[in-house]
């Protein structure tokens, strides 16, 4: 990690005042309400100059300074007791489409912009980024340097792959811009840094003409986990992108088989069947698939941007999604499903608990040079995520399941995991290179993973 700049060694008194909202001693929690933190200072900058002053002024804004967006992350990524929590939500302008130095069409957007807003803005202009995950609340800054997954039509399936330029505030309060074409390896490393190298304030993201999507939705029951695994691969082979929700203990799987359906951003009317499915799916995700039946339409035609959804912040007694993320190479799919099934059945026999289901996404990995660390860093190939979820993040049995399953998934099955999407990680489960971290931005939680 880079050497610490202490209050005495930093010219903090020179930093101009911060104009955004500042609050002291308040408590903040994540979307699920199961992770909470009491920073010394919470601040919502309204200009890049504000972010620079925050980074510079060590007395007013104690170390560590941790950037957040919508605080959806399920892990302790947002926890920064006694430090400075910088929420970028008010820096959320979409600055326009431009052509970059390599002749690519890119959208310039501020870090606090939510993915739903970005997707709808692009849709109106008949453009898109291929990454159109279910989650519309996540902010661009977080997903540009953090982990994501989605079964994309003709795209890698993770947001940061599309980011070609970043503007950030470094630990000395300097505003810096880096890009794939000007900075190569340094830029790709930065995109694996979870905000530990700097606070992202602006990004350029590659766009393309909008495409429509057709979906066939179905449900199937199996006799064995091996049959289920083989069917997953078969279904994936039949379409252009597959999202599956596997009810593993019941050997049932829900499939959304997606097909590229030509250019355009407006599907022909009537849209009622599509809208009924979207609303049911949105509610199912909000509630962790607990007690929500989803229809199984065939041949619906839609813009994927419409299916990027917004989710209300749930109360503590409401059913709400909580999940664990695990990445595996596709060659391991049958083994992962069979061993996870055995584990789940044994856990259920012992405790009566089984996860509500397992979300399964497929992601295309880029060359290693473009994703040097963390998820998707094994070089070209296909990964799948097999992510158990539950409708109560505070349920002790779910937490126990997750802790124990971590050992099977990581130690025995060799899963890659995420510090913002996999809970209850232990030291050694992930390694973030020390050179990607600045002490000014490194919380205790992230510090545990530095090697």
- Where on the chain is the footprint of ligand FAD (CB under 6 A)? 31, 66-73, 77-78, 88, 111, 133-135, 138-139, 141-143, 145-146, 148-150, 194-195, 199-200, 285, 311, 321, 420-421
Q: Which is nearer to ligand FAD, 157 or 225 (CB)?
A: 157
Cβ closer to ligand FAD: 343 or 383?
Answer: 383
Nearest residue to 304 (alpha-carbon basis) of 278, 325, 272, 336: 278
Nearest-angstrom CA–CA distance, 80 and 40: 9
Q: 83 vs 146, which CB is nearer to ligand FAD?
A: 146
DSSP 409: I
| Token digits of residue 408 | 């099977």
What is the smallest separation between the CB atom of 121 and ligand FAD, expressed in angstroms? 17
Please state, in angstroms and rounded to a whole number, the distance separating the CA atoms of residues 290 and 395. Answer: 14
| CB-nearer residue toward ligand FAD: 212 or 432 | 432
Residue 165 or 343: which CB sits closer to ligand FAD? 165
Our CB check for ligand FAD shows the closer of 31 and 401 to be 31
Residue 269 tokens read as 């009317």
φ, ψ of residue 113 to 5 degrees: the values are -70, 135
What are the DSSP E strand ranges found in 333-447?
A: 357-365, 381-390
Show the tokens assigned to 18: 């911060």
Beta carbon of residue 443, minimum distance to ligand FAD (angstroms, whole number): 8
CB of 321 to ligand FAD, least distance (A): 4
**Contact present, 404 and 345 (Cβ < 8 Å):** no
What minimum distance in Å lies between the beta carbon of 176 and ligand FAD?
13
Residue 199 φ/ψ, nearest 5 degrees? -90, 115
**Between residues 225 and 355, which has the closer beta carbon with respect to ligand FAD?**
355
Written in H, E and C, the secondary structure of 69-120 is: CCCCCCCHHHCCCCCEEEECCCCCCEEEEEECCCCCEEEEEECCCEHHHHHH
Nearer to ligand FAD, 71 or 347 (CB): 71
Q: Strands 65-68 and 84-87, how do they pair?
A: parallel
Count of all residues that appear for the chain in the document: 451
What radius of gyration do the chain's Cα atoms show? 21
- For 381: left if phi > 0, alpha if psi spans -120 to 50, otherwise beta; the answer is left
Closest CB to ligand FAD among residues 328, 341 = 328
Roughly what angle, to the nearest 10 degrees, separates helices 333-351 and 396-406? 140
Q: In angstroms, what is the minimal distance from the CB of 327 to ligand FAD? A: 11
Cα 450 from chain centroid? Answer: 20
CB atoms within 10 A of CB 126: 14
Least distance CB 97 / ligand FAD (angstroms): 21
Q: In angstroms, give the least distance from the CB of 135 to ligand FAD.
A: 3
SS3 357: strand
Residue 308 C-beta: closest distance to ligand FAD, Å: 9
Question: Which C-beta is closer to ligand FAD: that of 48 or that of 347?
Answer: 48
**Shortest separation between residue 195's beta carbon and ligand FAD, angstroms:** 2
For the CB of residue 217, give the shortest distance to ligand FAD in the complex, in Å: 17
């Amino acid at each position: 990690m880079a050497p610490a700049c202490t209050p005495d060694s930093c010219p903090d008194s020179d930093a101009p005042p911060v104009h955004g909202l500042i609050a002291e001693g308040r408590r903040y929690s994540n979307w699920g309400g199961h992770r909470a933190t009491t920073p010394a200072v919470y601040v919502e900058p309204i200009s890049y100059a504000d972010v620079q002053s925050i980074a510079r002024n060590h007395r007013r804004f104690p170390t560590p300074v941790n950037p957040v967006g919508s605080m959806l992350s399920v892990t302790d990524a947002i926890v920064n007791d006694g430090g400075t929590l910088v929420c970028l939500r008010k820096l959320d302008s979409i600055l326009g489409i431009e052509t970059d130095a390599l002749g690519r069409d890119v959208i310039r957007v501020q870090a606090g912009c939510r993915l739903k807003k970005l997707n709808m803005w692009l849709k109106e202009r008949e453009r898109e980024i291929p990454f159109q995950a279910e989650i519309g609340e996540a902010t661009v800054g977080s997903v540009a340097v953090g982990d994501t997954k989605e079964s994309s039509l003709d795209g890698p399936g993770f947001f940061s792959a599309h980011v070609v330029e970043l503007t950030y505030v470094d630990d000395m309060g300097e505003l810096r811009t880096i890009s794939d074409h000007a900075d190569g390896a340094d830029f790709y490393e930065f995109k694996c840094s979870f905000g530990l190298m700097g606070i992202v304030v602006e990004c350029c993201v590659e766009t393309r003409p909008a495409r429509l999507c057709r979906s066939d939705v179905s449900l199937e029951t199996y006799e064995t986990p091996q049959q289920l695994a083989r069917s997953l691969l078969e279904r994936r082979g039949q379409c252009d992108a597959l999202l599956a929700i596997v009810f593993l203990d019941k050997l049932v799987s829900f499939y959304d088989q997606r097909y590229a359906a030509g250019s355009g951003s407006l599907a022909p009317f009537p849209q009622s069947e599509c809208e009924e499915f979207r609303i049911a799916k949105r509610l199912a995700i909000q509630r962790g698939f607990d007690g929500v039946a989803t229809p199984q339409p065939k041949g619906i035609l839609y813009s994927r941007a419409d299916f990027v959804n917004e989710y209300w912040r749930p109360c503590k007694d409401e059913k709400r999604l909580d999940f664990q993320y695990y990445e595996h190479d596709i060659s391991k799919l049958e083994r992962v499903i069979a061993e996870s099934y055995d584990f789940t059945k044994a856990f259920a026999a012992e405790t009566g608990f089984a996860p509500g289901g397992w979300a399964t996404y497929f992601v295309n990995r880029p060359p290693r040079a473009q994703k040097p660390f963390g998820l998707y860093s094994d070089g070209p190939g296909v990964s799948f995520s097999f992510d158990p979820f539950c409708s109560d993040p505070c349920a002790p049995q779910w937490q126990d399941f997750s802790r124990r399953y971590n050992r099977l998934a990581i130690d025995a099955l060799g899963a890659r995991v995420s510090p913002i999407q996999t809970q209850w990680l232990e030291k050694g489960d992930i390694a973030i290179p020390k050179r990607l971290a600045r002490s000014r931005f490194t919380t205790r939680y992230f510090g545990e993973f530095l090697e």
